[in-house]
């Protein structure tokens, strides 16, 4: 049989009876991004208002007697509702659906049917799969490319049909009905039970589908095609928004536009040109800064080389700089008798380091320096450099290098 949610997608609450309740587990993603396993129960009802995931559509959320339903999955002709509180079989319960989530899914799913039908009718672009995502939905088209002109034509046509207020009807056919063979669809699941649901958009499309849909295209409000992306081999992904998602997208876009207008001190029509000018200015400043940094590196190298403290272990730390800055200093100094320990970055936090000197010494000391600074690095030919997380331990590195030099001198 079809569930109540499939017979009436607009129903928001109803009363039914608990059939069974058994222990179950649910694997979910925690707030830290790691997988978590929740212990709970699979509750089966005589009928349900909550759609179980299927047909590319995610499952509903809602409550049973104010108990949150965290997942709904189909198992043959029944639906398993995962809750963390048990419900006794035979209990009469009130089921409520999360209407905002449900109506959003109805808009996206019916929007997909409409786009799929129009893309096929206008250009012979067949849909091979689709995904109803949290932020946007994606239709996979069986074509290596779709032109911008085709996208514009599809978008115009689907919105014309929305404005025409075409009705959307749902029928149920028995599996042996000859009409089933004539209906578009990607086949039935192996565990399918009951009649076949057929969703018809008047004069546009007839398609097998188990999902929840609007009853009239006017409920879609509007469809916006965001563009296309290269999909799997010889496929193209078409991304779209329908209904309330378009309004939310416009609200975000308008907010960004207002913020940019305030920051750039120009109207929205001049935003792109203003950003290009800023990018060019930034590139010029970065180039000038790099040249100055190189000149500074050469000057620092000569100062270190001519310092009365030259020899043994020479250290230098600067807050500003990068790997190139340190390597220029090492190149200018070019000494293989002295251990040169250079660092740039936050004095107590993260940064970069470079150890240069005799190849054998650097090969021995490099990994130990990285370990002390709680970082990682690599080296060859008398240089070892990398990233560090504890620049506050530079003094320990200096002591390590001094001990090495002292030990070598004593052995000589």
Residue 401 CB neighbours (<10 A): 23
The distance from CA 67 to its chain's CA centroid, rounded to whole angstroms, is: 30
Q: Is 332 helix (H, G, I), strand (E, B) or coil?
A: helix
Query: What share of the chain in percent tops pLDDT 70?
Result: 95
Calpha distance 158→139 (Å, rounded): 15
Q: Mean pLDDT over residues 171-189, rounded?
A: 71
Q: Which pLDDT does position 338 carry in this prediction?
A: 86
- Provide the CB-side half-sphere exposure for 382 (13 A, CA): 15
Strands (E), 181-311: 196-201, 205-208, 223-230, 236-242
Q: How confident is the model at residue 186 (pLDDT cuts 50, 70, 90)?
A: low
Residue (of 382, 341, 335, 385) closest to 362 by Cα position: 382
Query: pLDDT tens for residues 2-28?
Result: 899 999 999 999 999 999 999 999 998
Whether 107 and 214 have beta carbons less than 8 Å apart is answered as yes
Residue with tokens 């017979």: 7
CA distances (Å), origin 353, targets 120, 207, 395: 59, 63, 13
Distance CA 71, CA 9 (A): 18
pLDDT for 383 equals: 93
**Over 80: is that where the pLDDT of 239 sits?**
yes
Closest CA to 198 of 167, 170, 166, 168: 170
196-233 pLDDT, tens digit per residue, is: 889 999 999 999 998 999 999 999 999 999 999 999 99
Query: 49: pLDDT confidence band, cut at 50, 70 and 90?
Result: very high
How far is the C-alpha of 358 from the C-alpha of 279, rounded, in Å?
Answer: 43
Residue 211, SS3?
Answer: coil
Confidence of residue 412 (pLDDT cuts 50, 70, 90): low
Yes or no: say if 328 and 298 are a contact pair by the CB < 8 Å rule: yes
| CA gap 361, 364 in Å, rounded | 5
254: confidence class by pLDDT, cuts 50, 70, 90: very high
CA distance 43 to 17: 10
Residue 283 has pLDDT above 60, yes or no: yes
- pLDDT, greater one: 348 or 251: 251
Predicted confidence (pLDDT) at residue 45 exceeds the cutoff of 90: yes
Strands 313-318 and 339-345: parallel
**Model confidence at 116: pLDDT above 90:** yes
**Cβ–Cβ under 8 Å, residues 27 and 37:** yes
d(CA 263, CA 133): 32
The CA distance from 390 to 46, in Å, is: 62
User: Rounded to whole angstroms, how far apart are CA atoms 227 and 152?
Assistant: 9
Residue with token string 């000589």: 412
SS3 396: helix
Are 47 and 94 in contact by the 8 Å Cβ rule? The answer is no
| Chain segment 124-157, per-residue pLDDT in tens | 999 999 999 999 999 999 999 999 999 999 999 9
* Gap between the Cα atoms of 49 and 54, Å rounded: 15
- For the purposes of burial, counting CB atoms within 10 Å of the CB of 363, is it exposed (0-12), middle (13-18) or buried (19 or more)? middle
């Amino acid at each position: 049989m079809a569930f109540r949610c499939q017979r009436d997608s607009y129903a928001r609450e109803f009363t039914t009876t608990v059939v069974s309740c058994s222990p179950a587990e649910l694997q979910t993603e925690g707030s830290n991004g790691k997988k978590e396993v929740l212990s709970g129960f699979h509750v089966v009802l005589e009928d349900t208002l909550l759609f179980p995931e299927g047909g590319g559509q995610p499952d509903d959320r809602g409550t049973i007697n104010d108990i949150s339903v965290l997942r709904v999955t189909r198992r043959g002709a029944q639906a398993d509702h995962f809750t963390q509180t048990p419900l006794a079989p035979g209990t009469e319960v009130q089921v409520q659906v999360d209407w905002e989530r449900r109506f959003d899914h109805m808009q996206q799913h019916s929007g997909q049917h409409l786009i799929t039908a129009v893309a096929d009718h206008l250009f012979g672009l067949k849909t091979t799969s689709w995904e109803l995502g949290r932020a946007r939905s994606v239709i996979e088209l069986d074509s290596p490319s779709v032109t911008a002109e085709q996208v514009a034509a599809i978008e115009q046509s689907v919105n014309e049909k929305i404005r025409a207020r075409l009705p959307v009807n749902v029928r149920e056919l028995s599996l042996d009905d000859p009409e089933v063979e004539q209906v578009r669809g990607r086949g039935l699941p192996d565990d399918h039970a009951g009649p076949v649901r057929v969703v018809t958009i008047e004069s546009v499309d007839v398609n097998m589908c188990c999902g929840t849909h609007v009853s009239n295209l006017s409920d879609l409000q509007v469809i916006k095609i965001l563009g296309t992306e290269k999909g799997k081999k010889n496929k193209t992904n078409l991304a779209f928004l329908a209904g309330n998602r378009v309004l939310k997208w416009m609200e975000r876009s308008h907010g960004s536009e207002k913020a940019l207008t305030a920051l750039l001190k120009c109207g929205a029509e001049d935003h792109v040109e203003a950003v290009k000018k800023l990018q060019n200015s930034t590139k010029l400043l970065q180039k000038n800064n790099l040249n100055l940094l190189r000149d500074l590196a050469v000057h620092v190298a000569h100062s270190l080389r001519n310092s009365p403290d030259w020899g043994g272990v020479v250290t230098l730390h600067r807050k500003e700089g990068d790997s190139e800055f340190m390597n220029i200093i090492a190149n200018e100094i070019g000494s293989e008798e002295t251990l040169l320990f250079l660092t740039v970055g936050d004095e107590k936090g993260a940064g970069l380091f470079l150890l240069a000197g005799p190849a054998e010494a650097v090969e021995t000391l490099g990994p130990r320096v990285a370990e002390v600074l709680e970082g990682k690095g690599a080296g060859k030919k008398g240089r070892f450099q990398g990233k560090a997380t504890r620049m506050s331990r530079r003094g320990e590195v200096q002591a390590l290098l001094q001990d090495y030099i002292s030990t070598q001198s004593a052995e000589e």
